[in-house]
A and B are shown apart, each in its own frame.
Chain A
Amino acid sequence: MENSTLISIEGLKKYFPTSGGRFTALNGIDLTIGKAEFTGVVGPSGSGKTTLLNIIGSLDSPSEGRAVVLGQSISNLNPKQAALLRRSKLGFIFQSYNLLPVYTVFENVEFPLLLLRLDDNLRRKMVMDSLEWLGMTDKVKSKPAQLSGGECQRVAIARAMVKKPEIVLADEPTANLDAANSHNILKTMARLNSEFKTTFIFATHDDKVIGYLKRKISLVDGKVTMDEIRNN
């Protein structure tokens, strides 16, 4: 683990109201995650992986305990502040890519930079750099519908990486990809991780992903059952 701590979680609980009372999705999590980690939250379906990622990503807030991300306590953020945190410091990668279908590859990757109000030339350069890292520079003018699944996910990664965020959160990023594409993408992300010291946090139960992780946090019924550093 590296020295500087980006995320610190203490006694984190998350309840969801249900018809019969409440359901405990996260049941007392303690974790710290540092800079440049390549970490996966691993566990069976329903174990709370997405719920945890949601809270780290400031999309949801804790019911109990604390989650401090990049110095900000998630519980204390209002929606505007949460959006600012996501927009400036976090990148998201989804299972089903979620590219905007009417826009080109270039424009999809450009979008987060538009939200940051960066000027034209800088945007252009950053988008091209990002597409370069993902090997997608020859498809700048293509629309998502013209791309393969693997290519779509590359564009989605470029979109998450374009603003050089501190943390990238990826929920099952390989679930829709075949083995070759999965490995390809994971290698790329591992490279970006070591090159830019971007912290990657995955939620997954895919063994291919687990194979690339440098740290594996196992989650069962909303509790961390194992937390191991691995060497690949």
Chain B
Amino acid sequence: MIRFLLKGILRDKQRSLLPVVIVIIGVMLTVFLYCWLRGILNDSIELNARFNAGHVKIMTASYAKNVDQLPNDLAITGVDTLLIKLKREFPEMKWGERIHFGGLIDVPDSRGETRAQGPAAGFGIDLLSGDRSEIERFNLEKSLRRGRLPVHSGEILMSEEFSVKLKVNPGDTVTLIGSTMNGSMALYNYTVSGTIVFGTGPMDQGSVIVDLDDVRNALDMNNAAGEIVGYLADNYYDEEKVAHVVTKFNSLFPASNDEYAPVIVTLRQQNSLGKMIDQIKAVGAFAVFIFVLSMSLVLWNAGLLGGLRRYSEFGIRLAIGEDYSHIYKTMIYESVLIGLIGSLIGTSAGLLGSLYLEHHGLDLSNMMKNATILMPAIFHTRITSTAYFIGFIPGLLSTVIGTMLSGIGIYKRKTAQLFKELET
């Protein structure tokens, strides 16, 4: 019987084409939308990871407890040996040392008196070693507004807004007033090499980026780092792989009472990203629901039209002795077949589009003009395993619901009228 129905669907193009096309479009949109949302989620995760959290982050136990205060007196010491060990034990990871610090940026006039002053949040990252990983993670080249990136020690990047506020131009000298690891005051002069835009208010108001070794010199943090961030090699945050890293790390560095002992935290533990993932999932479910609803309505009508076309077919089947409920059931089977065919094609099309955008991205930099660290101009889709089946939910549900609604009409046919109806 199924084979019989399938033949009917394939041969009666006018009957099946409209529903299939509707399903294909709806499923394609669902899959694509889902991948798009996952892409945005993924981009924000990766942004967060690159800029702040890493896929994992290693700190001392007490630094981790007070991380908001940037407690550099609690920084990891003996970073060299720790890094050697990390690189050996986790060849699949890339590591980066970072120092977050706070301080005042003081701008002297020609006589050395303070001309302007402002509080700054500072990032010490590797800019000069020749390894460009951190420069890329911070998207520095694209975020540069004026001047150039530091190429010598003693050079500093300022956020554009901050530099305007302090009336500082590339080439000017500024003084960092901060505190050393041991708590004494630190004064250090830098030459401004360029300005950058972060794309977020608080950071643009007063941030500086300096090479790691320059910060170490300034703050007396020789061979120390506040944090070591770690990244999975393929640059995608994968909870399973990260969990694996965490387990291994914890066996290498068992928990102790030493408050300077290194501890590891994951990206998810550091931020409210768990919540964000859940929200995106809710949005995805809502989108699917909307598609199911609207496609059902359209398919209901398509079903009614199809029912008209097949009026005499159903009549003859009733006369030959098919049950009402059996005809109704075969209509549902047919809708499942149509739903499956449409969902398969729609999912393939949606995945294909998403696949392209996953690799090439949609570059909106022309429209967005100014790319920033926190607002990359290239959008990527992200294909997860869910994307392979999520389209089948609206695809199947809507055809089945649409058919269930339109098919009810079959129960209203009176067999007593069949001879008359079939005479013409």
Task: Report how far A80 CA is from B326 CA in the complex, Å.
Answer: 10
Residues in A with CB closer than 8 Å to B420 are 50
Rounded to whole angstroms, the CA-CA distance of A98 and B418 in the bound complex is 11
Q: Choose among B317, B419, B423, B424 the residue that contacts A54 (Cβ–Cβ < 8 A).
A: B419
Residues of A within 8 A of B318 (CB): 83
* C-alpha gap A88/B107 in the complex (Å): 101
A96-128 Cβ-contact flags toward B at 8 Å (1 or 0): 101010110001001110110000000000000
Residues in A with CB closer than 8 Å to B316 are 94, 98, 100
Are B8 and A111 neighbours in the complex by a CB distance under 8 Å? no
B419, A53: Cβ atoms closer than 8 Å: yes
**Per-residue CB proximity of A192-210 to B under 8 Å, as 1/0?**
0000000000000000000
How many of chain B's residues touch chain A, expressed as a range?
Answer: 20 to 34
Q: Which residues of B contact A98 (CB under 8 A)?
A: 312, 315-316, 422
By the criterion of a CB under 8 Å from any partner CB, how many residues of chain A are at the interface? 34
Q: Is B1 an interface residue (CB 8 A)?
A: yes
| Contact between chains at A88 and B315 (CB < 8 Å) | no
**In the complex the two chains form, what is the Cα distance from A214 to B266 in whole Å?**
93
Question: What residues on B are CB-neighbors of A88 within 8 Å?
Answer: 321
B4 touches A86 (CB 8 A): no
Q: Is the CB of A172 within 8 A of B423?
A: yes
C-alpha spacing A115/B324, complex, angstroms: 13
The reply on A38 being an interface residue by CB < 8 A is no
Confirm or deny: A60 has a beta carbon within 8 angstroms of a beta carbon on chain B: yes
Which of A110, A114, A159 gathers the greatest number of chain B CB atoms within 10 Å?
Answer: A114
Residue B367 lies at the interface, judged by CB distance under 8 Å to chain A: no
A45 at the interface (CB under 8 A from B): no
Q: B84 interface residue, CB < 8 Å from A?
A: no
Determine the chain B residues whose CB is within 8 A of the CB of A82 once the complex forms.
Answer: 415
A87 within 8 A of B: yes
Q: Does B68 contact A (CB under 8 A)?
A: no
Q: Is the CB of B8 within 8 A of A50?
A: no
A114 contacts B1, C-beta separation under 8 Å: yes
- Does A102 contact B419, Cβ atoms closer than 8 Å? no
Q: In B1-43, which residues have CB < 8 Å from any A CB?
A: 1, 4, 7-8, 11-12
Q: Is A190 an interface residue (CB 8 A)?
A: no
Give 12 new A-B contacts, CB below 8 A, not counting A79-B415, A98-B312: A50-B419, A54-B415, A57-B319, A59-B416, A84-B321, A90-B321, A96-B422, A98-B315, A102-B12, A112-B321, A114-B1, A171-B419
CB pairs A–B below 8 angstroms (30 shown): A50-B419, A54-B416, A58-B415, A59-B416, A79-B323, A79-B324, A80-B323, A82-B415, A83-B321, A83-B322, A85-B321, A86-B320, A87-B321, A87-B322, A90-B321, A92-B320, A94-B419, A96-B423, A96-B424, A98-B422, A100-B313, A102-B7, A103-B4, A107-B4, A112-B320, A112-B321, A114-B4, A159-B320, A171-B419, A171-B423
